[in-house]
Amino acid sequence: MVEPYQWLIAHAQTLGVDPALCGPASVDLRLSGHIRTAEHMGTMGRYPCWSERHTDATVLFIPECFYLCTTQETVHIPETHCALLSMRSTWARHGIGHKMAGFIDPGFHGQLTLEIDVSVPVSVPIYAPFVQLAFVRLTEPTVYVYHGQYQNQTGPTMGR
């Protein structure tokens, strides 16, 4: 069962989300200004070294690059729930694509890393609502919560 607005509002502080960004069945998460970028080299799909930057204004996403971004929020997924992460349709309609690992396990705590590529140049303001998170109640609390390598991550985290 996907949790509705009233549940999101009631649990917003515990979940680490802004109640003002709660919708009918999901909560919007904002784009942080911490970005990692890899430019595509065009031959055999290889990428050069990653560059990292922090911005307080906007991010210009350009084609032929791959981006690791992060949410502004540090979220906590309760033991009674998992969560589903997806791109907000507004940004998808502007040409932003996602290769997100969109399933978040019960017990996860941290910022969410977003794997982004684009088909056309798109400028996104920092702290703009960028992705949405839906909380799904488990049939019963799990006895095995997430303790993986990305627990408590901050910033755009590279694959480990």
The tokens for 142 are 């799990």
Residue 123 has phi, psi (to 5 degrees) of: -105, 125
The number of residues in the chain equals 160
Closest to 75 measured CA to CA, from 26, 115, 140: 26
73 catalytic? Reply is no
The tokens for 2 are 């996907």
Question: Which positions ≥6 away from 99 have C-beta within 8 Å?
Answer: 115, 116, 117
Residue 12 has phi, psi (to 5 degrees) of: -55, -45
Whether the CB-CB separation of 144 and 125 falls below 8 Å is answered with no
- Which of 3, 79, 115, 140 is catalytic? The answer is 115
Report the catalytic residues: 115
